[in-house]
Amino acid sequence: MRDTLITVTGNVQKNAWADRVLPPVECVRDGVWSIPIPFLDNPMRYTLSYLLLGHEGAVLVDPGADSEVGWRHLGAGLRQAGLAVTDLTGIVATHYHSDHLGMAERLRETSGAWLALGEHEVRDVSSDDAIAIAADRNQLAVWGVRGGMLHKLTVTSEKVAGLRGLALPDLRLADGQLLPAPGLCVRVIATPGHSPGHVCLIDEARGLIFSGDHVLPRISPHVTFETPGPANPLADYFASLERIGFEDDMEVCPAHEYRFTGMRRRVKQLVEHNLRRAAEVLEVLDERSPRTVWEIAQHLTWSRGWDSLQALSLRLALSETASHVVYLQSRGYEINVPVGARAPTPVNELAEADRGDLA
């Protein structure tokens, strides 16, 4: 059992997590700071923003959700590292979620820093509210959401406007490239799955991996199927886990929760967790002959029970179930449950290797 456990290195963060308080700003290495930014009204409670100091500039990774309190925390964290907001020269968002780059726009306006995202990351929202809302309602209906629940779960124009308000990048980061920041030697690694163009960053000299939401120490990141979006996000996620699970000694700096070592062990846990989930989906298919994603999801185990899922959590439950259906279809299972407009991608190599576990 021991060899499957991670080693927590952010002990102060872990204690803060248990105490339900915001962890402190920490100097992780010479020139690397961890600055927690509150994520209000969300169980994740905070995003860990990382400041990387180079010879002639400073890069902030995942500035966090946009709020007045977040802005104050960020300013105070930068001051603790000896910087003002105007000293920032670059901003990197590991992916296009509001709790990671929500604050990017006003940070860019204040500092003039460039904003960079992975080359395949997309802000996928129609410029027309009515089209975006109709497409969303259609997707939910395909998954088997009916009646009042369909109305309740469908995206609102307020939400669409919020998505549209997220900052567009000045730069795109390709897999394998170094961050364009003098004095920093930080490599980009493309890790699609949690989002289509998610990236992790590796600072080999300092022994650090900035893992965004790709790998977190405690929870398994959401891998959701959305249309439009990648054809087989769960297969992408497995392949991305394999890409990052190459070693155990570097310290992992995630965007939530706390730092740890044991990336390879954590990756193993996440693969096993998702394969167990896929097996559970197969069981439901076998025993209950469900006709929709909804009918599958309601018979899966959820940490607080199916009935506790509402709004966003229910949506995520459905789109995760859909990602499993698409993945299983790509592995050759004949599943006649509609998921969306897109056909699944071919089986990837990792999926092939794991075939036995699912039988």
Instruction: Enumerate binding residues for Zn ion (CB under 5 A).
Output: 97, 213
Nearest C-alpha neighbor of 240 from the set 269, 210, 198: 198
Min dist CB 356 to Zn ion, Å, is 31
Min dist CB 194 to Zn ion, Å, is 6
Residue 215: φ, ψ to 5°: -135, 120
Shorter beta-carbon distance to Zn ion: residue 290 or 320: 320
Q: Which residues contact 259 (CB under 8 A, 6 or more apart)?
A: 8, 9, 10, 13, 28, 34, 217, 251, 252, 253
Min dist CB 97 to Zn ion, Å, is 4
H or E segment and range at residue 4? none
Report helix, strand or coil for 232: coil
Min dist CB 15 to Zn ion, Å, is 24
Query: For Zn ion, which residue has the nearest CB?
Result: 97
Min dist CB 95 to Zn ion, Å, is 6
Report helix, strand or coil for 161: helix
Shorter beta-carbon distance to Zn ion: residue 218 or 299: 218
Q: Which residues contact 93 (CB under 8 A, 6 or more apart)?
A: 61, 62, 63, 100, 101, 104, 115, 116, 117, 121, 169
Shorter beta-carbon distance to Zn ion: residue 211 or 330: 211
Min dist CB 113 to Zn ion, Å, is 21
Shorter beta-carbon distance to Zn ion: residue 97 or 259: 97
Shorter beta-carbon distance to Zn ion: residue 213 or 236: 213
Report helix, strand or coil for 306: helix
Shorter beta-carbon distance to Zn ion: residue 211 or 232: 211
Residue type, 206: R
Rounded CA separation 191/22 (Å) = 28
